[in-house]
Amino acid sequence: MKLDERHLIQLAAVINAGGVTEGAEALGMTQSAVSRTLAVLERRLGEPLFVKGRRPLRPTPLGRALGEHGQAMLLQSRKASELVDSFRHGHSGAVRVGGTQFFMDALISGMIAKFHNVRPEVRVEQSYGYLPELQAAIRADRIDLAICPVDVLEEGSGFEFERILPGHNMVACRVTHPLLMKRRLKGPEILDYPWIAPPPGSPLLADMRAMLVGLGATEVRIPYVGGSLASAMNYMKHSDALTVLPHSVVFAYRKEREITALPLRIHHPERTLGILTLAGSPQSPAVAAFSRHIAASFEKLAGLIKRHEQTVIWTG
């Protein structure tokens, strides 16, 4: 005999509430509708579901057994409803985010942790890449959004870009670097030291080369190439090597008091960090909430970075 699952759910609600009226209210149904369901169910079974004349209603052994099945269905139904509500409000689901490695490691990872303090049920899947790979990943629906530096998007690219932090590079070094002892640092003096080159394809690598050429360099010593942010920082704090880093990355490590920036003005890239998405593509509530969180976090960070910049006595 095949029974209607909705009938079993209504039976469970009546048993839980101890009455038809109360059970109907719990389900958001009318008393008459639930009464008809129970009557239909008893006719199909040929046996009563409740002991006659007992208040609150007391199920028969068969009624209790069927009610247990209905209770399991009722719980699953409520869980499904809660899941829908949670998804609609951005408290569940998944966010697939890609980004440039230095920014993701220095800044975004901490912002993801704070996002999870409020929305712990949202799963965040992170990957790395530079602009061409990130654009391809968004088009292929492998990621929902990217956080990366962009100079200009081609007309008709099909992407939207929300700016969250202007580009500002610095020459980074260890806090005990000899150049920090100089009263007035001159740009060409940095050419006397070895350099850490960012990974191939990184916008920072192009920025570093442009800066060195602008200072008149024809040849520089680059003993270390292509490491991660953590490896570059560890190498730098144990050597006199220099590298180019975004100011925001140097700022993120300021409290460790191992890495700092030379007070030397260098060319700022015409590039802005931002959130890249596919134009016109619908976003899940969780992805929209994540984007808002990242934008708000950088809005607060921008003011702190600006004040930090104003404490430096720049030369060059």
Mean pLDDT of 118-137: 96
- Reported for 66-70, long-range contacts at CB under 8 A and 24+ positions apart, including other chains, are 66/3, 66/8, 66/11, 67/8, 67/11, 67/12, 67/15, 68/12, 69/8, 69/12, 70/5, 70/7, 70/8, 70/9, 70/10, 70/11, 70/12, 70/13, 70/15
Q: How confident is the model at residue 268 (pLDDT cuts 50, 70, 90)?
A: confident
On the question of pLDDT at 316 being above 70, the answer is no
On the question of pLDDT at 295 being above 60, the answer is yes
**In the chain, domain spans:** 5-88, 93-167+271-310, 169-261
**In whole angstroms, what is the distance from residue 86 CA to residue 88 CA?**
6
Q: In the block, which residue shows the tokens 């007035």? A: 184
CATH of 5-88, one of 3.50.50.60, 3.40.50.2300, 1.10.10.10, 3.30.420.40: 1.10.10.10
Contact by Cβ (8 Å): 261, 247 = yes
Edge-first strand order for the sheet with 243-246 is 243-246, 169-174, 259-261
Percent of the chain with pLDDT over 70: 97
Percent of the chain with pLDDT over 90: 64
Collect all residues with Cβ–Cβ distance below 8 Å to 2 and sequence separation of at least 6.
Answer: none
Q: Which of 61, 18, 9, 69 has its CA nearest to residue 38?
A: 9
Mean pLDDT of 252-277: 88
pTM: 0.75
Could you count the other beta carbons within 10 Å of the beta carbon of residue 197? Answer: 20
The tens digit of pLDDT for each residue in 95-119 reads 999 999 999 999 999 999 999 999 9
pLDDT recorded at residue 85: 84
Pairing of strands 145-150, 122-128: unpaired
Mean pLDDT of 284-299: 96
**In whole angstroms, what is the distance from residue 59 CA to residue 209 CA?**
81
Q: How many helices (H) and strands (E) does the chain have?
A: 11, 10
User: Which residues are paired to 122 by β-bridges?
Assistant: 93
Q: Would you identify the CATH topology of the domain 93-167+271-310?
A: D-Maltodextrin-Binding Protein; domain 2 (3.40.190)
Average pLDDT of every residue of the chain: 90
The DSSP symbol for 179 reads G
CATH of 169-261, one of 3.90.930.60, 3.40.190.10, 3.40.309.10, 3.40.50.720: 3.40.190.10
Collect all residues with Cβ–Cβ distance below 8 Å to 237 and sequence separation of at least 6.
Answer: 174, 175, 258, 259
Of 11-15, 79-83, 173-177, the range with the lowest mean pLDDT is 79-83
Who wins on pLDDT, 2 or 37? 37
Preceding peptide of 194 cis, ω within 30°: no
For the chain, the maximum distance between any two Cα atoms, rounded to a whole number of angstroms, is 101
pLDDT recorded at residue 185: 87
Strand ranges (DSSP E) for the chain?
93-99, 122-128, 145-150, 159-166, 169-174, 196-197, 224-225, 243-246, 259-261, 272-278
Residue type at 200 in one-letter notation: P
Same fold, 5-88 and 169-261: no
The stretches of 104-189 forming alpha helices (DSSP H) are: 109-118, 131-139
Q: How confident is the model at residue 310 (pLDDT cuts 50, 70, 90)?
A: low
Pairing of strands 196-197, 224-225: parallel
Who wins on pLDDT, 63 or 98? 98
Residue type at 49 in one-letter notation: L
Q: Which two tokens stand for residue 188?
A: 């060409």
- φ/ψ bin of 146: left (φ > 0), alpha (ψ from -120 to 50), beta (otherwise): beta
pLDDT recorded at residue 311: 66
The tens digit of pLDDT for each residue in 223-264 reads 999 889 999 999 999 999 999 999 899 999 988 889 999 988
